[in-house]
Structures are given as structure tokens and as C-alpha cells.
Amino acid sequence: MVLEENESDSVFEPQLTEHVETQFGNVHCIMTGTPRANRPVILTFHDVGLNHKTCFETLFNHEDMKEILRHLPVCHVEAPGQHQGAKTLPTAYTYPTMDQLSETLPAVLKHFGLRSVIGLGAGAGAYILAKFALNHPDQVDGLLLININPNAEGIMDSVANKITEWTHTLPDTVISHLFGKDEIQTNHDLIATYRHHITTTMNQSNLSQFFRSYNSRNALDVERPVPGENINVRTLKLVKTIFCSLKNTTVRMNLTTLLKMADCGGLPQVNQPAKVIEALKYFIQGMGYLSSASMTRLRSRTTSSSSISSFDGSRSRSHTNELHRGRTHSHASEEKRGRSHTNVSMESISNSNQEHSILKSTEVAY
């Protein structure tokens, strides 16, 4: 166990940094704040090619996040070998599958004495947190999942990935995973920043193993309950789940609020943090952990495009409307799909958070 004392007030100068031992290897954890028995902890999990800083630093250091951090502590979890400065994993070590990575989280909660969490994940991290919630619903109060792809790779995707491995470098492949083509071609400074991070601060061998594990994931076995039919389906039994995605084709599991944010690129928590924080605040308020009196009104700021850096382009990752539908569709065919959506105010999110019908679903467009 490695213990580091906090020497700064910054959110990303941790109180505790520890390597938590699990049955699938050690995971790097950063705990900020003091857990309380009657409140959950925000638990984050990063995407491929990122660590807790590059995935969530902009979000947690944003001025509007201070309100949440006064009420809830945060535990950042990093997959084996993905933290900054990580040594190459031993040759004999078999990298965990996505399912196994989700099973490292009970050990993290036990290690820090946490009763329950609100999961905040992006990409691979969103998948891992969703799997954790499916298997351990009593330990999860809610989820905010950014750009989750709950489906296994189809045949066409597998072939495309093999060709990409042969013809592209690992950093290029990861960049294509994180960002859309338009964004890669137009936002050169942003892409250069993340390419530099992936190349210089990530252990390439470890990263390759994590990426391979993500590309070999199983489909999340989740169904939406249908009134009058079998009620014993496998579903996310949570107070609330928010899916934040840039594409018109996005998974809808059960009790969800779907956020569609325009002009925020492949990393909405980086490019439009105020919008994500606004949704997160009402989300947490709906669970009873923030009072109405303490809520900061952010609508005027988040709707002003001039006050936030925006990035054009859309996500290149495949998503589907329903988990039980085809899992072998190509990216091109999925991108042609669309779904009409309704503009709903954040006040509507606040109200809907207090409803408990597992069939309720709200779409919010920014």
C-alpha cells in the first residue's frame, strides 16, 4: 500500500493514494474527502487511454463542482497499470476482462469502508460501472455513464480493429476511440494534447492490454421490464441512471435520463463540464443529497456557447438503441439511425429524479 498525504486544496491533490489489492490485481485509487455513513461516495472510472486526471480533472476542478464536493467525497479508481508512472505489468500477469475489472470494485469499497457509491464513468469506465451495478445493486445509488457502448464487438468491428492494429500506432488507435473524425481533423490542439499524454505518460504495454480487454468485452445482459410480462429480467435497479452521449443512437437500459449535448466533442466532461455538472447536481439533488436551497442556478451559463470552449464533431464509437438488438452492425449503419428527442429543462430532470417508475425515461437535448 502506498500512502500519500494531501499537501494542497486542489481536488486532484489527494488525501489518500493507495494501491488496493484485489483478486484480479492491484488497482490505483485516489480518495478525496471524508466518507460519511449516511452518504454515498462519487466513484469514478476512466476510459481507455486516460487516467483519473486526464479523464476528470477539468470536471472536478470546475468552479461549479465545488457545491457537490462540499457534500460528497470522491474515490477515483484506475485500472491496473493505467495510472501515471505505472511500471510494466509482469509477463505472467493476465490482464482482467471487463467483467473482472468490475469485480475489483467491491474490494475498493471494502478497503475504504464505503457503503454505497454514485458511479461516474466514461467509455470503458462506464461499461465497468454498469456491470458493477448489475452484479452489486445494493452498493450503487446511481450512475452517470458517458458514452457507454454496452454491446460486444460485431464481426465487422473485430475485423476493422485487427486492420487498425496492423496499420496504425497505438496512440492513433486510442485517439480514434476517444474522438470522432471531424474532431480529429479540426481540433488540432486538443488532439495534440491527448496524443502527447497517451504517448508520454501512459505505459504503452499496459495500455495495449487494457484496450484489448475493452475490445473483447461481452454485451451487458440487460433488459427493460415490460408491464404484464416477466418482471424477473436483469436490469439496473437504481434510483436513477443518466446516459450522456453525443450520438442519436444510444443504449437505453431502464430508469434513465438521456442527455444529448451538441458541440462537446468526444469528451463532454472536458469540453462542456458546466453542462455535465448541472445535470449531475440535479441528479444528486433528486436522490436527496443536495437541498434545493443549496443548489446553484447554472442554466444561464451552460446555455451560453460563448462562455465555454466547444468542439465540433461526433463520437465515432458504435451505439445501439436496444441491448437485445443486432450487435454486429457496422459504425456506418448505426450512424444513419436517428431518434427524435424533446427539449426538457433541467427543472424537469430534478422533478423526474424523484419518480421511481422503472419504465420512466427522459431525453434532454442541449
pLDDT of residue 152: 80
pLDDT of residue 346: 36
Strand order of the β-sheet with 74-78 is: 16-22, 25-32, 74-78, 41-45, 117-122, 140-146, 240-245, 256-260, 361-365
Q: How far apart are CA 46 and CA 343, in angstroms?
A: 29
pLDDT of residue 253: 46
pLDDT of residue 360: 38
Q: List, in sequence order, every residue forming a beta bridge with 21; answer none if it has no partner.
A: 26
pLDDT of residue 288: 86
DSSP class of residue 75 equals E
Length, in residues, of the chain: 366
pLDDT of residue 154: 67
The CATH fold assigned to 15-152+204-287 is Rossmann fold (3.40.50)
pLDDT of residue 271: 87
Each of the 366 residues of the chain gets a pLDDT tens digit; together they read 333 444 444 455 447 899 999 999 999 999 999 898 889 999 999 999 999 999 999 999 999 999 899 999 999 999 999 999 999 999 999 999 999 999 999 999 999 999 999 999 999 999 999 999 999 999 999 999 898 888 887 677 666 666 666 667 999 999 999 998 889 999 999 999 999 999 999 999 999 999 999 999 999 877 665 566 655 555 665 545 666 654 433 444 444 566 666 666 789 899 889 988 988 898 898 888 887 655 555 444 444 433 333 333 333 343 333 334 443 444 434 343 333 332 333 333 334 443 333 333 444 445
pLDDT of residue 170: 94
Q: What is the DSSP string of 299-352?
A: HHHHT-GGGS--B-----S---S-TTS-S---HHHHHT---------HHHHHHH
pLDDT of residue 78: 98
Domain boundaries, the chain: 15-152+204-287
Q: List, in sequence order, every residue forming a beta bridge with 76; answer none if it has no partner.
A: 30, 44
pLDDT of residue 161: 65
pLDDT of residue 286: 85
pLDDT of residue 41: 96
Predicted model pTM: 0.76
